[in-house]
Amino acid sequence: MATLLADPSPSPSSSSLISPLSPSPNPRRRHLPLLSSPDTRTLRIRLRPKPFSPFSVASPTSPPRCPCSAGTLDADPASEENPNPSASSGAAAGAKEGGGWDRRRAVRIAWEKLVRWSRSWRSKNNSDVLERTRKVVVLGGGSFGTAMAAHVASKKAEMEVSMLVRDAHICRAINENHFNCKYFPQHKLPENIVATTNAKDALAGADFCLHAVPVQFSSPFLEGISQHVDPKLPFISLSKGLELNTLRMMSQIIPHALGNPRQPISVLSGPSFAVELVNKLPTAMVVASKDKKLASAVQQLLASPHLRINTSGDVTGVEIAGALKNVLAIAAGIVEGMHLGNNCMAALVAQGCSEIRWLATKMGAKPTTLTGLSGSGDIMLTCFVNLSRNRTVGLRLGSGEKLDDILSSMNQIAEGVSTAGAVIALAQRYHVKMPVLTAVARIIDNELTPKKAVLELMSLPQVEEV
């Protein structure tokens, strides 16, 4: 306890006694009440240490070292445990106005909390799914099937990854030289990948099956191998699109073709070019299944430091978005091929996203799915990047080429071409108007030129946005 002789206006000497022990008084702070007696007026001041705040501001003359600039996420012990008690309130106000150290500290603390949460989550969710998996079969030897086979095989050298391919030449190249000579002639595949043209050998003893056969060929293919498929074998569909005659999605095609309505099914989708996956570039996808345990198992099987796998229970939303984005990508390519500009491109893709949302939600999809990886993420990749097969088809159509010439020159299938007509039939079933995607289907059917389609779309009534 310190006692000073009473004087409502402290003298310079009294200020000198206070200032080394506490910050300068704030002019807006109320004066402490005077504790006085009739004879002697005295001011009693109890000196208490200033409470420490994690967002307190250090003196401008000696700012705390920022761990971010040092390339570490660990907190600075000096700044955490020994804050500078001499920081004045005026300096704090100035730092806040100028976006000073307190804001940087807040960002750093938020990031550290995120990292700690991530480590804790990983430690609690370690799984033995990969440890228990001895064999994975990949149906199809195309670019994405090969990329996923290489990804899975690289996760565990003791695991066999069997690729069922129809081309004997590709089969020999994979087994003898560890290259897919047609799609990835420059990328060596892991040695635990074994290719075969025999369905029985490929499927025997498999723990998981990745289906990478194009949608329009899936039904006859699966019917032909159904006798070799274990009824409990979990399928992971990598194919995107709708079956032209039946309007079925892959989650419906697989069990129907195998004759087993209880076949475990999941679908994998999201913005993912095969070549970038092979090159181990950062990628994120989503696996959807009505069976949460299956979705979690697939997530643990496929996730790696360069591939994030989110889970979802919205199978319809993931599949419809994956199918319709291919048709929209053709429209985006047409705009690019006709040199209609960035304004037109943005308007067209935005309209296309709305049309996908209208149909998908009518079919029971969740709107949040359509703004996630399998929706907006995949749409952005497919519509705006030149590696997209569907966008390439549209670009060449917009440049004046004939569809037959375009398709005959491609060594891969652009699913949007065959899906376009199925999309419109599905829209009619659910009573949804889809101007952009309908125009694409008419162009593909050679009933409308790209130029005429643009004029008709721009002449549609001016309506309220929904």
Q: Which residues, 6+ apart, have CB-to-CB distance to 315 below 8 Å?
A: 249, 251, 265, 267, 288, 289, 290
What phi and psi values does residue 348 have, to the nearest 5 degrees?
-65, -45
Residues 6+ apart with CB under 8 A from 317: 288, 360, 365, 366, 369, 370, 374, 375
d(CA 95, CA 229): 67
* Best CA proximity match to 311, nearest among 373, 375, 264, 382: 373
* Residues annotated catalytic, as ranges: 325
Structure tokens at 298: 């697939």
- Quick check: 152 and 159 in contact, CB under 8 A? yes
- State how far the Cα of 462 lies from the Cα of 465, in Å rounded to an integer: 9
Please report the DSSP string for 350-380 in residue order: HHHHHHHHHHHHHTT--HHHHTSIIIIIHHH
What residues are paired with 311 via a beta bridge? 287
Helix (H, G, I), strand (E, B) or coil at 56: coil
Q: Are 267 and 315 in contact (CB under 8 A)?
A: yes
List % helix, strand, coil for the chain (3-state, nearest 5). 50, 10, 40
Handedness of CA 105, 108, 110, 113 (dihedral sign): negative
